Structure 1
Amino acid sequence: MNAADAVPQRLDPVSVRNAKTTLVQLLGRAGVYAGDAEELIGLVEAGALAVAAPETATVADVAPSGKGELYAAGWGDGARAAADHLGAVAERVLREAVGEPGPEEPAERTRVGRMDVERAKVVVTSLHVSFADDSELDPEVSEQVLFAVLRTMGARGRAGYPGLLTRFADEHRARVERMFARYGPGSPIAIHGRYTLLHSPTCVAVLERLTVVPEELREEWDAGELPPAWLDGLATAWEAAGA
């Protein structure tokens, strides 16, 4: 082993860019467009920075002992300044990843992209199988439903929607379980009709939006020419499950 190998090496910017380019190319061979792959990488980068920021702030309270009050105060100020900077970088990387305008730019709602839908699919599928055994709604129809759901929020909201949706499901888990037991797969209710959405992995996503922004959801629902009875049936089932 030579001296260089014995010294811990940090990743330099060139090596990081090389790793990102390699990943984009590998994903491209799997059919993922470069723009979509770069967006996913950007979200992971922003998330890593966002997690690192509060962890860095905790260092403010663990200054080395025996250095005196002035040293401890400077240590704390430095740790908090570093944490604030990491938070600002995380914010910038997130804006760049989702294509959100900067603070001085006009706000525009960006279109729902394919990767937005794919990320939503992952979380709704996971949540659905925690409440029901299977899904009987056509996958293409499920995508149309997700597009309507995701159009009710901006790029930043879509980026954080999996976490928001998971928190919603956890908070209302008992009520959602009662709703599925009465109206979902395995219940006496047939798939076709007012309660169709309970047979779809998109159910909890629609329910969250119906609870939080009902008017916006109905507007996008109508624009997507989806059956109004599905929303009405889900609202009825949700109300009954809360009784």
Structure 2
Amino acid sequence: MSDALDLQKSDALTADLVRKPLHEQVQERILSHIILGTWAEGYVLPPETELAKQFGVSYGTIRRAMAALTASGVIMRRRKTGTVVTGRTPHHSMSQFYKYYRLHTIEGRLASSRTVMVDACHRNATQDEAEKLELPARAPVVYMHRLRWVDDRPVMIDRVTLPLSLAPDFPVTIEEMPTLIYKWLLEHHGLRLAAIREKLVARLASPEDLKYFDLPLDTPRALLDIEEVSYDSNNRPLVAMRHAALTDDHCYINEIR
């Protein structure tokens, strides 16, 4: 079956377009395919007339969506080829959050990490979590506690919370928990990351932190705390995270375009 026919049958592209102006919703559907890699760099999109049929919208709506994506550099028009995915990072580097966490070496190289889950469960939100996620008191949430390892040693502690109301089918066991949370939310529920608010604080590691990092309890170590709350395109809180990273060999780089 051709890519065009696959696209026509895709749930992501045939979902009811009811929340926003049609051209913005179409734009988000197209962007989702690019972020997830379904339409990778160099992919040639179907003609606009064909896209209009597949989305069930007017030609003018498709033209507006494509014009916005072209202006942001996500796609480009090539003579004799058509409209092509450029591979440029769309919308303030948000696509980076779907692929990896932005931990770098002191020299500035991206650190390749692996995730080890420590704990995972469905439970009631704490007061702090409810405030950050704008939830009622004791609302049900998904909670994850995990470590990030680089070069066979832990360098970051993650604590992650998301409202169960946004994803009632989110896995509950450690074995099933997705490593790439934003990618999972986009693929399973069409929830696209639109903004992230971060707060960075330096502090000394607690005895519990030192235990997870497998470090001596009697030696002070500096940590970088990164508290973040992410939001979807409707400015609704998606996920609250708190990261605690060792600063001896790694740093945090945030690039906004």
Which structure has the greater CA radius of gyration?
1
Q: Which has the higher helix share?
A: 1
User: Fold conserved (TM > 0.5)?
Assistant: no
Taking structure 1 as the reference length, the TM-score comes to: 0.27
Q: Which has the higher strand share?
A: 2
Taking structure 2 as the reference length, the TM-score comes to: 0.26
